[in-house]
Structure 1
Amino acid sequence: MLRRAVRRAASLATRTALHPRQFVSGSASKPSLSIWRRKKEMGKEALIAAKELKRLRSDPLRLDRFVASHVSRLLKSDLVAVLAEFQRQDQVFLSMKLYDIVRKEIWYRPDMFFYRDMLMMLARNKRVEEAKRVWQDLESEHVLFDQHTFGDIIRAFLDSGLLSEAMDIYEKMRQSPEPPLSLPFRVILKGLLPYPELREKVKDDFLEIFPDMIIYDPPEDLFEDQSGPGYR
């Protein structure tokens, strides 16, 4: 029996040497989906809170009391859902209110999609000062947008006629350590069609980075009758 045990141990050692176990580190495993990308459904408490927040928004004192007594007790999923709903409704004041609340929560972690949604909503509503504040916050938290997100945000500002702000963000995109991609440039170039001078600048950057690619140029008179807002 002793000899059999020795042979079994030797066989096991041989198999282990030939086929060592493989361990997957946390960084190599698939990351969990950001809470800001998950489907957001409002529960009963969230619906009540959203309705009451909208009712009290013109009464700062009662609004702050309700936030302290009810909103601060919402579950994470409910708070996220209420913020998403206010963003969808373009409720800028209430979105900024919840934005501040979320960033103070113990579970809060800086997230690219959290900031993307805020900036897209603020761009739609042409709220420049709030957008600048949000951008300062994300920079202080060292949040890095990927190139596709940069393109979407810049396009949102362009579509709202906020050219100066859009081009400021474009310069940040150009300085990003993320490798450039052609699709975000095309998204931006399409948004710049009414602004040929700015479009030419971005087009030159694009062709410098992607010299083998082609950019479609519309007929020169396509926008001659359209007087878009100037570059501030």
Structure 2
Amino acid sequence: MRDRSQNQKPLQRGGSLSIEVIQAVQALKCAKRDESSLEREFESKVRCLLKLDMITVLQQLLNQNECLLALKVFDDVRKEYWYKPQVSLYAEIIRVLGSNGLFEQVHLLKNETGLELETESFNALLRSLIDFDMTGPAMECFQLIKTSGCEPKKSSFRILIKGLESKGELDISVTVKLNAQKYFGESLEFLEEEEDMIVGYNYS
């Protein structure tokens, strides 16, 4: 069996995407309206790709708003032995799904284990959920970081509280503020601080 995790070639050659990535993306887009053709293209163009090329195909489909194709590639990626869940990738997928109105598809964190809860990426996920009025999933994600044994950061509390208030969820916001006081004391001056900048994800 070929070890697809040992991909040392660059994602881009001479400033352009690899031919394998280009062919895979084009083939999937052409076949997306026919399930049997789509499955054939997946088998011949995607499942044989090396790790980094698979991720690049996923990124390209997200960039082109090919949401359902991106989800299909993502489902395949999750089955690979080298796959390690990353919140930053979820945040990007949810952002694209939300911007295309595919809210029913936002169930990506369900039953997922081993998530790498890095603060910057987690904050990006919170922003994506709140931006698309998904305050319920945002609260579920916030609980996730606490049950994982990590302490929420001030920036995460700030994003959640400000987001809830902007959506009119004042009762929930009060509850979160009380929770923040348990971590940081009575003063919540940090809520007025400027939000940290969010950078793109890296799944290499």
TM over 0.5: yes
Match of 2:152 among 180, 183, 186: 180
Aligned residue number for residue 64 of structure 2: 89
SS of the residue corresponding to residue 202 of structure 1 reads helix
- Of 40-49 and 76-85, deviating more is 40-49
Aligned residue number for residue 71 of structure 1: 46
| Residue 123 of structure 1: how far off its partner (Å) | 4.3
RMSD: 2.5
Q: 1:71-117: per-residue Cα shift (whole Å, max 9, x none)?
A: 222232222111011122332210111012222335x2313244444
Aligned residue number for residue 121 of structure 2: 149
SS of the residue corresponding to residue 192 of structure 1 reads helix
Within 5 Å, give how 1:179-198 maps onto structure 2. 179-194=151-166, 195=168, 196-198=170-172
Within 5 Å, give how 1:70-219 maps onto structure 2. 70-106=45-81, 108-112=82-86, 113-132=88-107, 134-139=108-113, 142-194=114-166, 195=168, 196-211=170-185, 212-216=187-191
Runs (5+) with no aligned partner, structure 2? 1-9, 193-204
| Residue 199 of structure 1: how far off its partner (Å) | 2.2
Cα distance in structure 2, aligned partners of 1:126 and 1:144? 27
Relative to structure 1, the CA distance from residue 174 to residue 137 in structure 2 (aligned partners, 3 Å threshold; closer, same or farther) is: closer
Q: Which has the higher contact order (CA 8 A, sep 6+)?
A: 2
Relative to structure 1, the CA distance from residue 162 to residue 40 in structure 2 (aligned partners, 3 Å threshold; closer, same or farther) is: farther
Q: Is the 8 A contact 2:11 2:18 kept in 1?
A: no
| Residue 159 of structure 1: how far off its partner (Å) | 0.4
Relative to structure 1, the CA distance from residue 176 to residue 168 in structure 2 (aligned partners, 3 Å threshold; closer, same or farther) is: same
Cα distance in structure 2, aligned partners of 1:124 and 1:169? 19
Match of 1:52 among 27, 52, 57: 27
Q: Is the 8 A contact 1:147 1:178 kept in 2?
A: no
Cα distance in structure 1, aligned partners of 2:55 and 2:44? 18
TM-score normalized with structure 1 length: 0.65
Cα distance in structure 1, aligned partners of 2:63 and 2:173? 30
**Identity score, percent:** 24
Runs (5+) with no aligned partner, structure 1? 1-38, 218-232
TM-score normalized with structure 2 length: 0.73
| Residue 40 of structure 1: how far off its partner (Å) | 5.3
Q: 1:141-200: per-residue Cα shift (whole Å, max 9, x none)?
A: x32423433322122111001122212222223323012311121122232232233322
Relative to structure 1, the CA distance from residue 125 to residue 172 in structure 2 (aligned partners, 3 Å threshold; closer, same or farther) is: farther
